[in-house]
Structure 1
Amino acid sequence: MQSRLRVQGHPIQPMLVTFPLGLFVSATVFDFTDVVGGPAFLGEVGYWTGVAALVAAALTAVAGMIDLWDVPVDRTRRTAVAFNLVNAVMAGLFLLTCLVRSQAPEHGASAAMLITELVALAAGGIGVHLGARLIRQFDSGRTETGGLDALANGTVEIVRPRP
């Protein structure tokens, strides 16, 4: 399977997934610090980090939908659909907390919002597992030749088995 969106031969979506996931984790850490009694501005930092994560998640979802068109209808497609749905659930839960917090003057977090974010991160963990499985399924038909000597020369070839 070849991705439609590539940078120097590498699919874009696996690279993009790291941004929303990292931002969601950071937002949760800021919110945790706010909830346990840290400085109040950390709640606002957590809110805006969550908003940035939602923007990154939207861009990643677009790349995922474009790549989904080319996935063959088999086990790999089911994994890809599950991966995208789990990531959508994670983003949806964070969207919910951001919408609730947008009404507050300081955008601070509460314990209930923190629990919702932790549930969203658990869904994100499932997404990471599905993403790793997806990469293994995409790469199952390819083998790298040359070993470590090829890395020293900077030339690693990918050989595909003949049908």
Structure 2
Amino acid sequence: MQSRLRVQGHPIQPMLVTFPFGLFVSATVFDLTDVAGGPVFLGEVGYWTGVAALFAAALTVVAGMVDLWDVPGDRTRRTAIAFNLVNAAMAGMFLVACLVRAHSPERGATAAILVTELVALAVGGVGVRLGARLMRQFDSGRADAGSLDAFAASPVDIVRPRP
């Protein structure tokens, strides 16, 4: 299975998934620090980091939907659909947290928002496992990237040093 959206032979969606997930983790760390009594501005930094993550998640969902067109209707398709739904659920939870905070003047985090974000990250962890399974299914039949066979189209020639 080949992805439609590729950069130099590599599918784009697995690269894009790291951005929203990393930003969501960063937003949660900022909010944890804010709730734990850190400087007030960290709550606003956490809010804007969450907003940036939502934009990155939207791009990732679009790339995932484009790739979903070419996935055969078997176990791989079910995994791809589950992967996209889990990532959308994580983004949805963060969207709720951002919408609740949008009306406060300092956009600081509360304990309830922090719990919501932690649950969303747990859901995202399931997405990471599904993404790993999906990549294994996409790469099945190809040479192991860690083996020397991945670099050679024919058997590896051994070059002997001169005596």
TM-score, length of structure 2 as denominator length: 0.90
Q: Percent identity?
A: 78
Distance in 2 (CA, whole Å) between partners of 1:119 and 1:47 is: 17
What amino acid is the match of 1:124? G
In terms of Rg, which structure is larger?
Answer: 2
SS of the equivalent of 1:143 reads coil
Once the two structures are TM-superposed, the CA of residue 147 in structure 1 deviates from its matched residue by 4.0
Aligned to 1:22: 22
Partner of 1:7: 7
Q: 2:32 matched to 1:32? A: yes
Is 1:72 aligned with 2:81?
no
**Cα distance per residue 1:40-81 (max 9 Å; x no partner):** 000000000000000000000000000000000000000000
Q: Is the 8 A contact 1:30 1:46 kept in 2?
A: yes
1:84 matched to 2:84: yes
SS of aligned partner of 1:73: coil
Correspondence for 1:43: 43
- Contact preservation (8 Å) 1:144, 1:156: no
The aligned residue for residue 52 of structure 1 is: 52
Tell me the CA shift for residue 156 of structure 1: 5.0
Asked whether the 8 Å contact 1:47–1:101 carries over to 2, the reply is yes
TM normalised by structure 1 equals 0.90
Aligned to 2:63: 63
Displaced runs of 4+ in structure 1, greater than 6 A? none
Gaps of 5+ in 1: 158-163
2:100 equivalent in structure 1: 100
The one-letter code of the counterpart of 2:139 is D
Post-superposition shift, 1:141? 1.9
What amino acid does structure 2 have at the position aligned with 1:141? G
Counterpart CA distance in 2 for 1:123 and 1:146 is: 30
* Aligned-partner Cα distance in 1 for 2:113–2:122: 14
Asked if the contact 1:101–1:107 (Cα under 8 Å) also holds between the matched residues in 2, the reply is yes
In 1, Cα distance between equivalents of 2:126 and 2:144: 28
